[in-house]
Amino acid sequence: MENSEQSKKSNKKEKKLRKIVVLRWGHRPQRDARLTTHVALTARALGASGFLLSDIVDKKIEETVEKVTRNWGGNFFFEMETSWKSAVRDWKAKGGIVVHLTVYGKNIQTSSVLDRIKQSKKDVLVMVGSQKVPKDFFSKEVSDFNVSIGNQPHSECAALAVFLDRFFEGKELAKGFKKAKIKVVPQQRGKRTIV
Amino acid sequence: MENSEQSKKSNKKEKKLRKIVVLRWGHRPQRDARLTTHVALTARALGASGFLLSDIVDKKIEETVEKVTRNWGGNFFFEMETSWKSAVRDWKAKGGIVVHLTVYGKNIQTSSVLDRIKQSKKDVLVMVGSQKVPKDFFSKEVSDFNVSIGNQPHSECAALAVFLDRFFEGKELAKGFKKAKIKVVPQQRGKRTIV
């Protein structure tokens, strides 16, 4: 698989950097297509190393995300089909921790949960659900931390964005993407890109 | 309209606080239903005062958002149908400024754009598109600031979340919602709500 090779390569390169991979569970083709795409693109744009669409295959989303990566650069990997259970097992076996974003978790603003995640100095698998998630997600065997981005219902896409922005302390938004075919030149007015 | 009365009431109460209202343009019923709902719920959960679905009516989304507000509390208002042009005109006539979130704008991380928005001390109408937005959105007549949440393509939902989190400096995630029927008690494990 080109993807997993890419991923291995970038794992090697980034060995000394903290790494975040996003796992999306519960995707329903069609119904969730656009949201899952937005979640994956948010992961990429806000500093995650890769995205795993667990337990299902959706070629269209893979295509969209990989096209963005081809055009806009970087080493972001997209994987699908792997079951969430084996993904979590593998992640933990490699020494990573698992963070489950949920409205029921410890509030990222009012608790020390983010500090504790950072202090662990470990790579982080961030799990976000679509439908109601299995009860297991909350258990010690699965999530090291259950984290809420405020305890109000909103969006896994928004939750992921705030989590990544705070985890990387904003630096993710300044970072360049290697081998980009398209680049935006930020402007106060109008659109400017370099191709 | 109950909505606009609610809105007037909350406007009076919150007169001395900075206020943000989110305008969503380009919504296509069905195709955008879930994303627009997520954008509206993100606006509510992350401290905006209200949401305007411009230029279109979508009763289903109104219903979903108002149900969340009834159950989870707060004064968040939902309006629809008003054209974006008249919404912008009215907003500016009342002394507010307009911020357009776009991948082409000034980077919120690497430029001083957020400081300048804050220093204005004015209420902010945040515009987010769905389809490709009209060129006018970038013009002086419409947007006082064009702001990017990183210059990579991702999601209006993610962009709005990061903008609100940075604008309110995280405080929005700690705030209580009045008259809530449901409240989450944040926990490290499991789900706990007070009804």
State pLDDT tens for residues B32-65. Answer: 999 999 999 999 999 999 999 999 999 999 999 9
Mean pLDDT over A22-45 rounds to 96
Please, which pLDDT band fits residue A102 given cuts at 50, 70 and 90?
A: very high
- Is residue A160 pLDDT above 70, yes or no? yes
- Is residue B172 pLDDT above 90, yes or no? yes
Mutate to test the interface with A, among B188, B189, B191 (most CBs of A within 10 A): B188
Note the pLDDT of residue A128. Answer: 98
Note the pLDDT of residue A18. Answer: 81
Q: Which of B105, B107, B158 sits opposite A157 (nearest CB)?
A: B158
Mean pLDDT over A146-160 rounds to 98
Please, which pLDDT band fits residue A89 given cuts at 50, 70 and 90?
A: very high
- The verdict on a CB contact (< 8 Å) between B188 and A153 is no
Angle value at C-alpha A154, between A148 and A155, nearest 5 degrees: 85
Residue A74 φ/ψ, nearest 5 degrees: 90, 175
- Is residue A16 pLDDT above 70, yes or no? no
Strands B97-107 and B124-128 come out as parallel
Of the two residues A6 and B117, the one the predictor is more confident about is B117
Average pLDDT, chain A: 92
- Is residue B118 pLDDT above 70, yes or no? yes
Residue A20 DSSP SS3: strand
The Cα B140–Cα B133 span in angstroms is 15
How many separate helices (H) and strands (E) can be counted in chain B?
6, 8
- Is residue B185 pLDDT above 50, yes or no? yes
State the residue for tokens 């504790």.
Answer: A116
Note the pLDDT of residue B16. Answer: 54
B187 contacts in chain A (CB < 8 Å): 104-106, 146
Q: Nearest residue of B to residue A72 by CA position?
A: B152
- Is residue A5 pLDDT above 80, yes or no? no
- The verdict on a CB contact (< 8 Å) between B155 and A44 is no
Contacts with A79 (C-beta within 8 Å, 6 or more apart), sequence order:
A3, A4, A7, A50, A51, A52, A53
The Cα B147–Cα B163 span in angstroms is 9
State the residue for tokens 């109950």.
Answer: B2
Please, which pLDDT band fits residue B76 given cuts at 50, 70 and 90?
A: very high
Q: A37-41, A50-54, B2-6: lowest mean pLDDT where?
A: B2-6
Note the pLDDT of residue B18. Answer: 82
Please, which pLDDT band fits residue B131 given cuts at 50, 70 and 90?
A: confident
Average pLDDT, chain B: 92
Cα–chain-centroid distance for residue A65?
A: 13
B160 contacts in chain A (CB < 8 Å): 158
- Does the reported pTM lie above 0.95? no
State the residue for tokens 């096209």.
Answer: A67
Note the pLDDT of residue B11. Answer: 47
A148 contacts in chain B (CB < 8 Å): 184, 186
Mutate to test the interface with A, among B22, B30, B35, B42 (most CBs of A within 10 A): B42
Note the pLDDT of residue B17. Answer: 66
Tally A–B CB contacts below 8 A: 187
B44 contacts in chain A (CB < 8 Å): 152, 154
- Is residue B14 pLDDT above 50, yes or no? no
Please, which pLDDT band fits residue B2 given cuts at 50, 70 and 90?
A: very low
Mean pLDDT over A91-98 rounds to 97
What ipTM score was computed for the predicted complex, to two decimals? 0.91
- The verdict on a CB contact (< 8 Å) between A173 and B188 is no
Is B105 in contact with B147 (CB distance < 8 Å)? Answer: yes
Residue A106 DSSP SS3: strand
- Is residue A137 pLDDT above 60, yes or no? yes
Note the pLDDT of residue A17. Answer: 66
The percent of residues in chain B predicted with pLDDT above 90, rounded, is 88
